[in-house]
Amino acid sequence: MKILITGSSGQVGTNLALKLLEREEQILGIDRRDNSWTDRIPLIKRDIAADGMSSIADLPPDFGKPDLVVHLAANAKVHELVENPRRAHENATTAFNVLEFCRLNQIPIIFSSSREVYGRPAPPTVAENTVNIYDILSPYAAYKMADEMLIYSYANCYDLKYLIFRLSNVYGRYDNDLERMTRVIHVFIDQMRRGEPITIFDRRKNIDFTHIDDCIQGIMLGIDKLMQGEVVNETINLSSGSPATLGYLAETIARYLDVTPEIIDEPIQPGEISFYIADLTKAKQLLGFNPQISFEEGIKQTVEWSAEYIS
Ligand SMILES: NC(=O)c1ccc[n+]([C@@H]2O[C@H](COP(=O)([O-])OP(=O)(O)OC[C@H]3O[C@@H](n4cnc5c(N)ncnc54)[C@H](O)[C@@H]3O)[C@@H](O)[C@H]2O)c1
């Protein structure tokens, strides 16, 4: 299978591409940055929002027309996009350019949406059909929803085949490049290691953290089911199914690092959600998804992994 991955230098892209290479699939990445973790992923360096997608004719001849596009490229930090909504708008241009590439070449797409589209969902768990667009809390979420809706319209008008995954706080390997991307788990690990105080924006915020291996398991199942025509045009939650509050996250990291951090409590930041626990019924039924990594085990692995790769 020939798979084009946008955002291949990012956390999910790097892990997915390496997993597909293990399976000896043919991979081509597109990203506007070099990959800082590995040189094993063939890369077209290009800003898809500013320059559009390459045409098939411009792809390496030994690659040719892809069988599938996995579209991961995005400015992916909610709070940063609240401060600079233009970066959220840019995501829509990126998605539009990728969708046009898929439409013109009749290539199916897998798109990484976000649990942020749910805004303020109701406990205890959140199923895919419960989105209420009036609950959208941030420009990042607004454009993820817009990207999803564009995909639904392309499926309707142009018979585009798709799967959409709504991801939630993916963590683990290849995500501690803090100078580029401040993700809560690695910020806490980094600050606790340095003996600095940590700031928690609402200890009670309760979310479904997703270990990268579970995320990749779900996307790989999606790739196979989509390409075999078994699961087509579905929107699916993906997470590890092992939620935790930010307070418990800090406690767990501190336990594995054997430190007692000073904690500064702040209210939740504008645009951020305060609750999300995924209903994974659809992922399990349609894909046979079976998340493996509990929150505690995932955090333990991540603390150990990050000791080797201090950013
Ligand atoms: N990681 C998570 O917790 C999470 C949660 C929900 C949704 N998602 C979505 O999953 C996808 C992958 O997330 P990630 O964690 O790997 O993010 P990431 O920031 O690590 O990687 C995204 C990559 O996209 C590239 N990119 C962005 N805009 C581009 C453009 N216009 N042209 C070319 N490259 C561009 C960036 O350079 C980066 O390497 C994103 O769409 C994100 O919104 C991620």
What does the pLDDT look like over 215-264, one tens digit per residue?
A: 999 999 999 999 999 999 999 999 999 999 999 999 999 999 999 999 99
Residues with CB under 6 A from ligand 1: 7, 9-13, 31-33, 47-49, 72-76, 94, 112, 114, 167-170, 181
Residue found under tokens 């790739």? 223
Q: Which atom of ligand 1 is nearest to the CA of 50?
A: 31
Q: Pocket of ligand 1, candidates 45, 170, 214: which has the most ligand atoms within 8 Å of its Cβ, to mutate?
A: 170
Ligand 1: centre distance to CA 154 (Å):
22
71 Cα distance to chain centroid: 10
- Residue 180 is predicted with a pLDDT of 72
Q: Name the β-bridge partners of 151.
A: none
Q: Give the pLDDT score at 116.
A: 97
- The pLDDT value recorded for residue 88 is 97
Closest residue by CA, ligand 1 atom 10: 112
Pairing of strands 170-171, 68-71: unpaired
pLDDT one-digit tens code per residue, 24-71? 999 999 999 999 999 999 999 999 999 999 899 889 999 999 999 999
- Cis previous bond, 139, omega within 30: no
Q: How far is CA 216 from the centre of its chain?
A: 10
Q: Tell me the C-alpha to C-alpha distance, in Å, between residue 139 and each of 47, 120, 130, 180.
A: 21, 15, 19, 20
pLDDT, residue 178, reads: 66
Residue to substitute in 32, 77, 138 for testing ligand 1 pocket (most ligand atoms within 8 angstroms of CB): 32
Q: What is the pLDDT of residue 311?
A: 56
Nearest CA to ligand 1 atom 43: 76
Which is the closest atom of ligand 1 to the Cα of 174?
Answer: 20
Q: Which stretches of 24-161 are assigned E, i.e. beta strand?
A: 26-31, 43-45, 68-71, 109-114
Residue 181: what pLDDT? 66
Residue 177's nearest CA partner among 299, 17, 47, 10 is 10
Q: How far is the CA of 263 from the centre of ligand 1 (A)?
A: 29
Cα distances from 202 to residues 208, 256, 262, in angstroms, run: 15, 22, 15
Sequence ranges of the domains in the chain: 2-168+211-240+282-287, 184-206+242-277+292-308
Q: Name the superfamily (CATH) of residues 184-206+242-277+292-308.
A: UDP-galactose 4-epimerase, domain 1 (3.90.25.10)
pLDDT tens-digit map of 170-226: 999 998 776 676 789 999 999 999 999 999 999 999 999 999 999 999 999 999 999
pLDDT digits 0-9 by tens, 74-83: 999 999 999 9
pLDDT tens digits for range 105-163: 999 999 999 999 999 898 999 999 999 999 999 999 999 999 999 999 999 999 999 99
Site to substitute for ligand 1 among 72, 212, 238, most atoms within 8 A of C-beta: 72
Q: Which atom of ligand 1 is nearest to the CA of 46?
A: 33
**What is the Å distance from ligand 1's center to 77 Cα?**
9
Q: What is the CATH number of domain 2-168+211-240+282-287?
A: 3.40.50.720
Query: Region 284-302: what's the mean pLDDT?
Result: 97
- Name the burial class of residue 209, with classes exposed (0-12), middle (13-18) and buried (19+) by CB atoms within 10 angstroms of its CB: buried
